Structure 1
Amino acid sequence: MNLLLGGTSEARAILELLQKHKKRAVATTVTSYGGSLASGGNNLEIVSRAMNESDLDNLVAEKNIKTVIDATHPFAAKITEVAIDVCERNQINYIRFERPKLELEMDSNLVQWVEDFEAAAEAVGSMNCPFLLTSGSKNLGEFFNHPKIKKENIYARVLPDPQVMQKCMDLGSTPKQIIAVQGPCTYEFNAACYKQLNINAIVTKESGTRGGFKEKIQAAIDLGLQVVVIKRPKIAGMEIAEIVWSIEEIEKIIKERL
């Protein structure tokens, strides 16, 4: 049995390949919304919940997992580190699908790179202006609870998941400050969104080619907005991982080795 750690558009593509080649698999997503985007099949089981190390240990033992394909988000560092550790301890084959970084050709003094969410909150807080968060929902508290940031200045673009939207409200957001949409978004959508909200800055993550990263930044720069980019986290244990960079490469592995 194979285990696919998902939560990205690439994971859904890999899921389709597993079904296409009739490979038995368990696929995980963090939320029920993510699970609803993954189509089931005779050879497939979907598990929709966040997992800690104990959960993953139990799952690989219960399902007799022989190979783990980790297609989680580049910023889901914790689950990747847990997966590497679990695979190493249980002598399970670990394959990391790594979303290629986007080499930006744009050279703009509007773009500021920071190391983490705390630094991003500090950077945008010093601007004292309306801004749009396009960096996910997990670290919203870094911004809503920052002493330099007025809550009325925060617009959050998040998944259209009731729990995520409720989290925004619990942190002090109003309905008009929540933009619930399933990405990635086009350049045109981003530009229209920025204009409609009348913001002066955006915060985003270095998500890569399929995360709509370039479209977000280019639209912002073209409108003269400040851009704060959070760099990808460094993940411990990656030196032992088999890293795959393309869907074509992962399909070859699925056909020949799983």
Structure 2
Amino acid sequence: MILVLAGTSDARELAVRIKETGYELLSTVVTDSAAKSMEEAGLPVQVGRLTAQDLISLIAEKGIRCVVDATHPFAEEASKNAMAAAQEAGVPYIRYERESLSAPGSEKLIVVEDYVQAAELAAEKKGVIMLTTGSKTLKIFTDRLLGLPDTTLVARMLPRLDNMQKCEELGLAQKNIVAMQGPFSKELNKALYDHYKVTLMITKESGKVGAFDEKVEAALEMGIETIVIGRPKIEYGEKFSDYDSVLNQLNQVTGGK
């Protein structure tokens, strides 16, 4: 059996390809909505965050022959847990990561290393700031931006109850929450920027599947300053950005089905 750490649309498609090739697999995701998407694709799925020890136990329990880590490029903890578990359990680890898109060159665009750097830079710039990095790191930004003079923080995130509860806990006003399911077209991004009179947009380099280019191009075309958070620097060893390469590697390390 192959263990596929998933949760994104491209991870789901990869899992489908692995299953169609003839491998028995189990996928894992963090949210119920991601689980529903996997189930609709006919994929067996387990829901919940897994520590390295959880993964080690799962590998032993299910007789896992290989761990395929297809988590989001910014799911740093999940990838580190997967690598540690695979090493401890003595099974091969394969990393699939959607291809990176280089940020378009512009004097309006700044690339930073992490969320804290992005938040501190935004605090210097002030204005109407649209945050499109999700809810997980929202506190980093609310701690530094809420209550600043001449500063409004608008956060765009998935329309989930836990996200709305987090916004309330952190003091983010309802009128400054955009709860929508992407991906967003360039035109919709522009409409949102215009509606809120955005002067600064913050995003992370999540790749084309994450509609990175649409929101950045929309902002730059409107003359909106943009902060891009670069991907975490993780030593995966070899990694692959297309499904066929993953399947070829899987065949090599398992000896086939």
Partner of 2:246: 250
Instruction: Give, as a single letter, the amino acid of the residue that structure 1 aligns with 2:26.
Output: V
Partner of 2:206: 207
TM-score when normalising by structure 1: 0.90
Instruction: Give, as a single letter, the amino acid of the residue that structure 1 aligns with 2:125.
Output: M
CA contact (8 A) 2:119 2:145 kept: no
Q: Could you say if the C-alpha distance between residues 158 and 26 of structure 1 is closer, same or farther in structure 2, counting changes exceeding 3 Å?
A: same
Q: Could you say if the C-alpha distance between residues 255 and 20 of structure 1 is closer, same or farther in structure 2, counting changes exceeding 3 Å?
A: farther
Partner of 1:101: 100
CA contact (8 A) 1:67 1:94 kept: yes
Q: Secondary structure at the match of 2:72?
A: coil
Partner of 2:195: 196
5 Å matches for 1:1-258?
Answer: 1-39=1-39, 44-104=43-103, 106-146=104-144, 150=148, 153-236=152-235, 238-239=236-237, 242-253=238-249, 257-258=256-257
Q: Secondary structure at the match of 1:109?
A: coil
Q: Could you say if the C-alpha distance between residues 235 and 27 of structure 1 is closer, same or farther in structure 2, counting changes exceeding 3 Å?
A: same
CA distance in 2, matches of 1:255, 1:95: 11
How many positions carry a matched residue from both structures? 253
CA distance in 2, matches of 1:148, 1:140: 11
CA distance in 2, matches of 1:251, 1:92: 16
Greater than 6 Å deviation, 4+ residue runs = none
TM-score when normalising by structure 2: 0.90
CA contact (8 A) 2:190 2:219 kept: yes
CA contact (8 A) 2:129 2:153 kept: yes
The structural deviation recorded for 1:95 is 0.7
The structural deviation recorded for 1:214 is 1.0
The structural deviation recorded for 1:150 is 3.7
Q: Could you say if the C-alpha distance between residues 22 and 161 of structure 1 is closer, same or farther in structure 2, counting changes exceeding 3 Å?
A: farther
The structural deviation recorded for 1:133 is 0.8
CA distance in 1, matches of 2:23, 2:185: 33
CA contact (8 A) 1:158 1:165 kept: no
CA contact (8 A) 1:134 1:157 kept: yes
CA contact (8 A) 1:116 1:230 kept: yes
CA distance in 2, matches of 1:58, 1:149: 46
Q: Secondary structure at the match of 2:125?
A: coil
The structural deviation recorded for 1:20 is 2.6
Range that drifts further, 140-149 or 48-57: 140-149
1:82-112: per-residue Cα shift (whole Å, max 9, x none)? 11111112111111002111134x3211101
CA contact (8 A) 1:126 1:148 kept: no
* Identical counterparts, % of pairs: 34
Q: Secondary structure at the match of 2:175?
A: helix
CA distance in 2, matches of 1:248, 1:160: 34
The structural deviation recorded for 1:212 is 0.8
Instruction: Give, as a single letter, the amino acid of the residue that structure 2 aligns with 1:135.
Output: T
Q: List gaps (5 residues or longer) in structure 2.
A: none
CA contact (8 A) 2:56 2:88 kept: no
The structural deviation recorded for 1:255 is 7.0
CA contact (8 A) 2:146 2:153 kept: no
Instruction: Give, as a single letter, the amino acid of the residue that structure 2 aligns with 1:74.
Output: P
RMSD over equivalenced CA pairs, Å:
2.1
Q: List gaps (5 residues or longer) in structure 1.
A: none
Instruction: Give, as a single letter, the amino acid of the residue that structure 2 aligns with 1:18.
Output: I
CA contact (8 A) 2:131 2:201 kept: yes
